[in-house]
A and B are shown apart, each in its own frame.
Chain A
Amino acid sequence: MVVKVSNLVKRYGDLIALDHLSFSIKEGEIFGLLGPNGSGKTTAINCILALLKYDKGEIEVFGEPMTPESYHIKQDIGIVMQNVAVYNELTVYENIDYFCGLYIKDKALKKKYVEEAIEFVDLGEYRNFRPKKLSGGLLRRLNIACGIAHKPKLIILDEPTVAVDPQSRNRILEGIKELNSNGATVIYTSHYMEEVEQICSRIMIIDKGKAIATGTKEELKAMISLGEKITVESYDVSEQQLARLRELPNIVSVEYNEPLIVIKSSKGKNNLENVLEFIKKENIQFGKIYSELPTLNDVFLEITGKELRD
């Protein structure tokens, strides 16, 4: 186990930020921590890093309890924090060099690592820029480079893509996969389900400080009853027709907000076919029709009764 968290409780006054949170991360995983804003993702990370006091629970990193003095553990952790933490007075190169130098004493090795990190985030042409001159996406990339330059075994990325343009975001995600394939274990927090779905090998969904589901994305989706969501655009459908639609096999719910009919069905075969047949039979005029498989948002929605993003 790279990280083992058991029964972690953190209170801010009356507010319970983490409620008996337990999870463990195996070597080589990209572990996704998915939850809405304020669900306790960053709090959990800060507890793992021994920055925050917590009320109860145990945290082990690399098989040892984590304390502020566990310098040999910290040595192998790379952290990319939610807020960009770089020195405004130092250039891109100097910033990476500084943070790398906190871990790597050998000068030649440090130099090599810094160059590799710059290469990795593709900031070569900006190496002499001060952070103020960088756009949001470039700044995030610098932040990442500062976190991973020393080639840590465990990389923690806390919402590294907030306010980042799509190109930069894809680069960052690709980069994380690359780091993982080079042997690093990754903890990735986000409230973007697409990102988590795209890169994580295992995902924990948390809400209000509680873990509500853990597993691969397939496992998570398998947990819920929803199998398929079919949306039909139509201006011409009666209540009776909708009622009959609901009686089709496997259909879980049918909602009509003119002009969209949203039909949710449970797992099973031929769901779309049945619906199409029904429409034909009832002679309902329709424009578009499309079918989606469930997303993590649907998982979240079904478990908590609310949307992941509000």
Chain B
Amino acid sequence: MFVHIFANRLRCLLRDRETMFWTFMFPLALALFFYMSLSNVGKGEAFQEIDVAVVNDSWYQENQFFRTALEEASRGDDRLFNLTLATGEEARKLLDDGKIKGYIIAGDPPQLIVNESGIYQSIIKSFLDNYTQTFRAVEKVLENDPRIYQEVFDSLGNRKNYVKEAPAAGGKPDNLVYYFYTLIAMACMYGSFFGMREATDIQADITPLAARINIAPVHKLKAFLSSTCAALLIHLSEMMILLAFIRYVLNIDFGPRAGYVLLTTVIGSITGVFFGAFVSAVVKKSEGIKVGILIGVTMIGSCLAGMMYIDMKYIILSKNLPFLYWTNPVNLLSDAFYCLYYFDNLNRYALNIGALSCITVLFCALTYLFIRRRKYASL
């Protein structure tokens, strides 16, 4: 009997084009859109060698220290600048055309000409500040004791990098991956469309079809579980494809713990399906209203989990709004993926999964309480 109901249910759901679209094609399309629009955003943050011009006047030519310092900074793989020598007019033109971030006129102090304030302009300025400051320091030391000329220059050539990146305890803080996690979480919750169908098609007071099934010599919960298993199988397969697509086609990093990522997806899928079943069992309204509730809750949940605006998530996280944090399955799921990617321990992940499991069990229990009814007061 299980196989009979299960197999037929699979066939039914797979042919339900609308549900298949929203649970499968839509998240895939969104993932692709996310990728196309976000894949370059990270580069906006990354350091790129700064295009700078220097006015090649006699001051620049004669001042060997300054020239060396600038040339040093424009050499090698980890250079700061792409340096261009130019006349004052050329440099001005380059700046106007947006070809360089700014140009330098050597002097004491050196002058920087830019046309906006920004991080790159600030870096150029820092570099020039440093040059002037070092020059001042040398002057100061030699003033004190002119004999140690040689020591001064030895010491100057001996610049060190004092800051070291601490050994990473987990993934890189690349926050674009988070958008994909919220997307997967949202897709998990879209499993509710399946759950809604299952709960609708088993309650005799909602559809004639359900009444018909209630009359068949099959235990109601058994019928419900058989068909819900079919729904879960389809949704899980969809989620696995989505996951594989995001991981292997779009190359989004999920951290080293693939097993846990799968586990999270499975739990998320179950949560989604039973969320839909719960809404369908509890809300005695038309199908349109139920779909509205499912989409509304999922979208608001996704928004609060940071899918539209990542800061939203951090505000809730850091400002300690536990209610919005722990009751939002989309957030718990995205956060679980985030923990797997970003942290080296599983403590917070376990908390997330624990909370999520509680919510899921609650959905299951309430669904059971509502659909176990055998006889109805009215049909």
Contacts and interface: CB of A to CB of B under 8 A. Distances in A.
Contacts of B321: none
Interface in A39-98: 46, 49-53, 68-69, 71-72, 74-75, 77, 79, 81-87, 89-90, 94, 97-98
A281 interface: no
A85 B211 contact: yes
A286 interface: no
Given A89-B12, A101-B8, A102-B4, A49 B376 contact: no
Nearest to B8: A98
B212 A85 contact: yes
Interface stretch (B55-63, B139-147, B214-222): B214-222
A49 B211 CA distance: 10
A84 B1 CA distance: 23
Contacts of A89: 11-13, 15-16
Given A85-B211, A101-B4, A51 B217 contact: no
B351 interface: no
Given A46-B379, A50-B374, A51-B376, A71 B211 contact: no
A105 interface: yes
A188 interface: no
A79 B209 contact: no
B196 to A, nearest CB: 15
A99 interface: yes
A50 B219 CA distance: 14
Given A12-B378, A52-B375, A53-B376, A85 B208 contact: yes
Q: Is the interface of A mostly helix, strand, loop or mixed?
A: loop
Contact of B212 (A50, A52, A79, A90): A79
Given A68-B214, A72-B217, A98-B8, A87 B209 contact: yes
Contacts of A86: 209
Contacts of A81: 208, 211-212
Interface string B243-275: 000000000000000000000000000000000
Given A46-B379, A51-B375, A52-B378, A103 B215 contact: no
Interface string B5-27: 10010011101100000000000
B8 A94 contact: yes
A53 B375 contact: yes
B375 A87 contact: no
Interface string B367-379: 0000000111111
9 contacts: A12-B378, A51-B379, A52-B378, A52-B379, A68-B220, A81-B208, A85-B209, A98-B8, A102-B218
| A-B interface, 6 closest residue pairs, ranked by CB to CB distance from nearest | A68-B374, A83-B208, A89-B15, A85-B212, A71-B217, A74-B217
Given A52-B375, A81-B208, A102-B213, 5 more contacts: A49-B215, A85-B209, A89-B16, A90-B12, A102-B217
